[in-house]
Amino acid sequence: MSVVTNTTTIGAIDAPSRRNTELMMLVFAIAISVFAYANVGLALDGSLPSGMFGYGAGLILLGGVAHLVVRKFAPYADPLLLPLATLLNGLGLVLIWRLDQSPRLIQRAEQLYGAYSPDAPKQLLYSAIGVAFFVAVLMILKDHRILQRYTYISMVAALILLIIPMFFPAVNGAKIWISLGPFSIQPGEFAKILIAVFFSGYLMVKRDALALASRRFMGIYLPRGRDLGPIITIWALSILILVFETDLGTSLLFFGMFVVMLYVATERTSWIVFGLLMSAVGAVGVASFESHVQQRVSAWLDPFSAETWAQSDQLGQSLMAFASGGTLGTGLGQGHSDLIMFAANADFILSTVGEELGLAGMMAVLLVYALIVERGVRTSLAARDPFGKLLAIGLSGAFAIQIFVVAGGVMGLIPLSGMTMPFLAYGGSSVLANWALIAILIRISDTARRPAPTPSPSTDAEMTQVVRP
Amino acid sequence: MNKPLRRIAIFCGILMLALMVRTNYLQYVRADELNTRDENRRIRIERYAHERGNIIVDGKAVTGSVETNGSDFKYKRVWKDGPLWAPVTGYSSQAFDSSQLENLEDGILTGNSDQLFFNRTLGMFTGEKKQGGNVVTTLNGAAQKAAFKGLGDKKGAVVALDPQTGAILALASTPSYDPSVFAGNSNKDSEAREKLLKDKDKPMLNRALRETYPPGSTFKVVTAAAALENGLYDDIDAKTDSPLPWTLPQTTVPLQNEGNIPCENASLREALRWSCNTVFGKMSDDLGNKKMIEQTDKFGFNKEVFTPVRADASIYPEDNKPQNAMAGIGQASNRTTPLQMAMVASAIANDGKLMQPYMVAKRQAPNLDDIYTAEPEELSRALSGENAQKVQQMMETVVKDGTGTRAQIPGVTVGGKTGTAQHGLNNSEKPYAWFISYAKTDNGSPVAVAVVVEDGNANRDDISGGGLAAPIARDVMKAVIDSKQ
């Protein structure tokens, strides 16, 4: 076979598998993390950290296993998704480990809980389970279209996951956790994937009805009442989550994801107009009587006012952390982002990136996230089946919205809401769910880029030529 | 489905772009503002992360740094002779920020100043530990000690200036405090500070710069200067037109003199010698409020003075006729800082030229290179040289055989003026004892002093200023003259 220089993802014939590219990028990603690890150790103690080889070996093992599984089970998958996720996961481990060393945070933990236990080893464990999830999804899910069969089961499962936290006590003002003994799970992260599956399955079936059966009114297409039903339901649901669980981020995420998928499925701009209108109505409505939301908004408007400062100085501290980083950052281990105290290594981990890696590091990290989203959207474009298209765009759209909501929150661009930066932040459910998300995207991209089976030669080809008399 | 997909891709791109723009805005555009916020603990962490530079008097550091543990601040400020130097250095506390020189010269002391940029950059390459620079003051240790000792346990303040340059030689305020007691950030530190703040004697008040008093009779030299400058009188030995008793204008209240002193039509020299209220009250009335304000402006009244530590503005008020007459003898709402009265004495001693008072002589880089040396600066021409010499003669008479004899220094020409300012409604509280003076040698005047003692315990106007404040001024002047030899 001749050498094919086909560089598009969508190559129909003889697309190169790019598995070796993936391997190289993976080596690069792990090397960056290991060097970062050494950097923290040198900055803090002046010597290479003793756990460096443990973490390095752990990362190499995880990356290697994931790569081999992709090579075996999804040979045509997008080559960038896995290395990008590994890079973020590795960097996250380094940042969490760096914050583990903070005397300020250790002192705080000892005062509050009487004991202190570092988070980095737990995060490494979660990462291992996350990669196991990744492997399991790739091995079990031979074709993403199988998920179509579970459309309504997904919905029910997602609803259960979302409702359960209401029966658990609120943690720091938000009811988004399930506590099971020593473990606490944030079910919203998993519900994200399940809801994307449900939307894809539902919209694939209903898209024509939604798109065509509508009346034209003042230049936009108004959907029929019965088609409006599910949208109203989802809107109400996301508002309910917001009200009962005071979870601003998750409701925004679900609603945004739904509007995106509706728009893609129906190709009708009117859905976006409706979506924006409804979310505006919902947001204003909830904000007018929910004190938790009001607090967040007023903290966002003036993070340094005496009132905000007395309630929580987190956002102000985060902004000052970013500023302190400046263009080049203070260097890993040399900042004071731990002044944020609570959730410094979870919701606010990006502030540590901002302070210690600076504007340069922030741009790089944001670009890595942007690249993951871009590969997801590209996968969606390349996918040949509507279900795969919808699922891929739903997942990558949700990923983009989540990043915007979290990063925008800690940077004071929008009001703060409790979600975590995928892969970077400390948290078991987040790491697990996002590795599963990447696995599904890799599965779809593998299907999309897999070369079409060569058509069998048609024996009638010559016979059907027009013969001029 | 691909068209909406592309639009969604653009939407996601915009979300990411918004984040990137925001991070640029935050970390580049707004960085300076956020980095200098009061709430930003990093400022203090950084300030105490290195050994702070020192404040130097007579070539010796009056401050120091000690290493601490148990908090994120590594070094703590300590003072040698804290109460003595607190009115000059201010404090620098891990928990309670800083004041005065410690605050104003923070950039040099921490080593963060742009003036040290070159040193810092060099240090980056040579791997040297970051260090703060030093601030060399103009103060004279002996004079400061004499002032502090003279005030003793009385409430008051002393300011000594070098009339020829404006350099501050002594700046004492009592009762004082030791800034070392709250330099850390423990509970003990905040209790100590709380106690200082609650003390009714206000030990943390810098009386030399931040308290204004009625200047009492010491102000008569300003009135005399105004009279000479405006041509009201010319010859200091000629009789003035001063009836006795003299009634305050627009009233039926006669202005009293302290005791039975020869004030009727007394010459300027005699009137100052005896501190005649009637003569100077009428003089101020004859000149009028506007001319009095003009003259005080020339002496530096009516605006804040930056040494660089800020001193409150001394006020000669815009007022009605009887009040203006009273202000002319240093009463009514005429209020001055001790620094201001020292400036008056120094302008007269320096033949009319008022120099800008300053207390930072040099700033040094950590390697002791001078990066700034103060240049004496003329603030204004308070009065002509001729008139200044006339006022000098009058003031010298006061010390030679007037109310200020206790300021005499053998072998040195001293000029001065006493004052006892009434205090409280109907003079109900203890009066303030004042003394302003200067010493003169062959090379002009090396020192001018203003002393105020708050609890002047006396019933006669001039004796208390002369009895209580003059010896302190004498000791301070003597210390300066002795240290010059």
Q: What is the 3-state secondary structure (H, E, C) of chain A?
A: CCCCCCCCCCCCCCCCCCHHHHHHHHHHHHHHHHHHHHHHHHHHHCCCCCCHHHHHHHHHHHHHHHHHHHHHHCCCCCCCHHHHHHHHHHHHHHHHHHHHCCHHHHHHHHHHHCCCCCCHHHHHHHHHHHHHHHHHHHHHCCCHHHHHHHHHHHHHHHHHHHHHHHHCCCECCECCCEEECCEEECHHHHHHHHHHHHHHHHHHHHHHHHHHCEEEECCEEEECHHHHHHHHHHHHHHHHHHHHHCCHHHHHHHHHHHHHHHHHHHCCHHHHHHHHHHHHHHHHHHHHHCHHHHHHHHHHHCCCCHHHHHHCCHHHHHHHHHHHHCCCCCCCCCCCHHHHCCCCCCCCHHHHHHHHHHHHHHHHHHHHHHHHHHHHHHHHHHCCCHHHHHHHHHHHHHHHHHHHHHHHHHCCCCCCCCCCCCCCCCCHHHHHHHHHHHHHHHHHHHHHHCCCCCCCCCCCCCCCCCCCC
CB-CB contact of B62 with B321 (8 Å): no
pLDDT at B463 over 60: no
Tell me, yes or no, if B217 is annotated catalytic. Answer: yes
Residue A469: the pLDDT is: 67
B179 pLDDT tier (thresholds 50, 70, 90)? very high
**pLDDT tens-digit series, residues A146-200:** 999 998 899 889 888 888 887 777 766 666 777 766 667 788 888 899 999 999 9
Residue A11: the pLDDT is: 46
pLDDT at A1 over 50: no
Chain B contact for A373, CB < 8 A?
yes
A219 pLDDT tier (thresholds 50, 70, 90)? low
> Mean pLDDT, chain B, as a whole number?
90
Beta bridge partners of B364: B134, B370
A268 vs A257: CA distance, rounded Å: 16
pLDDT at B198 over 70: yes
CB-CB under 8 Å, A412 with B41 = no
Q: Which residues of B touch A260 (CB under 8 A)?
A: 8, 11
**pLDDT tens-digit series, residues A390-410:** 999 999 999 999 999 999 999
For B203-221, what is the mean pLDDT? Answer: 94
Residue A2: the pLDDT is: 46
A392 vs A257: CA distance, rounded Å: 11
Residue A418: the pLDDT is: 76
> Mean pLDDT, chain A, as a whole number?
85
Higher pLDDT, B92 or A456: B92
Residue A53: the pLDDT is: 85
Nearest to A407 among B12, B19, B42 (CB): B19
Residue A156: the pLDDT is: 87
Residue A8: the pLDDT is: 52
Quick one: closest CA in A to B43, which residue? A324
Chain B contact for A326, CB < 8 A?
yes
CB-CB under 8 Å, B18 with A413 = yes
CA dihedral for A194, A199, A202, A204, sign (positive or negative): negative
A398 vs A258: CA distance, rounded Å: 9
B352 pLDDT tier (thresholds 50, 70, 90)? very high
Q: Which residues of A touch B74 (CB under 8 A)?
A: none
Residue A357: the pLDDT is: 94
**pLDDT tens-digit series, residues A310-336:** 888 889 999 999 999 989 888 898 888
For the whole model, what pTM was predicted? 0.71
Residue A9: the pLDDT is: 54
> Which of A314, A319, A410 should we substitute to test contact with B (largest number of B Cβ atoms within 10 Å)?
A319
> Which of B14, B21, B23, B29 should we substitute to test contact with A (largest number of A Cβ atoms within 10 Å)?
B23
CB pairs under 8 A between A and B: 127
CB-CB under 8 Å, A354 with B27 = yes
Q: Which residues of A touch B1 (CB under 8 A)?
A: 264-265, 267, 386, 389-390
pLDDT at A462 over 70: no
Range with the poorest average pLDDT among B185-189, B370-374, B458-462: B458-462
A81 pLDDT tier (thresholds 50, 70, 90)? very high
Higher pLDDT, A233 or B269: B269
Range with the poorest average pLDDT among A223-227, B64-68, B322-326: A223-227
pLDDT at A69 over 90: yes
A461 pLDDT tier (thresholds 50, 70, 90)? low
Nearest to A389 among B1, B13, B45 (CB): B1
Chain B contact for A267, CB < 8 A?
yes
Residue B338: the pLDDT is: 96
Range with the poorest average pLDDT among A319-323, B123-127, B228-232: B123-127
pLDDT at A237 over 50: yes
Structure tokens at A239: 């508002």
For B7-13, what is the mean pLDDT? Answer: 94
For B313-318, what is the mean pLDDT? Answer: 94
Q: Which residues of A touch B28 (CB under 8 A)?
A: 326-327, 359
A444 pLDDT tier (thresholds 50, 70, 90)? very high
A79 vs A96: CA distance, rounded Å: 27
> Which of A264, A352, A367, A379 should we substitute to test contact with B (largest number of B Cβ atoms within 10 Å)?
A264
For B455-474, what is the mean pLDDT? Answer: 72
B458 vs B420: CA distance, rounded Å: 9
Tell me what ipTM this predicted complex has: 0.90
A218 vs B45: CA distance, rounded Å: 62
Residue B461: the pLDDT is: 46
Range with the poorest average pLDDT among A37-41, A409-413, A452-456, B313-317: A452-456
CB-CB under 8 Å, B8 with A264 = yes
A294 pLDDT tier (thresholds 50, 70, 90)? confident
CB-CB under 8 Å, B31 with A400 = no
Q: Which residues of B touch A320 (CB under 8 A)?
A: 34-35, 37, 39-40, 42
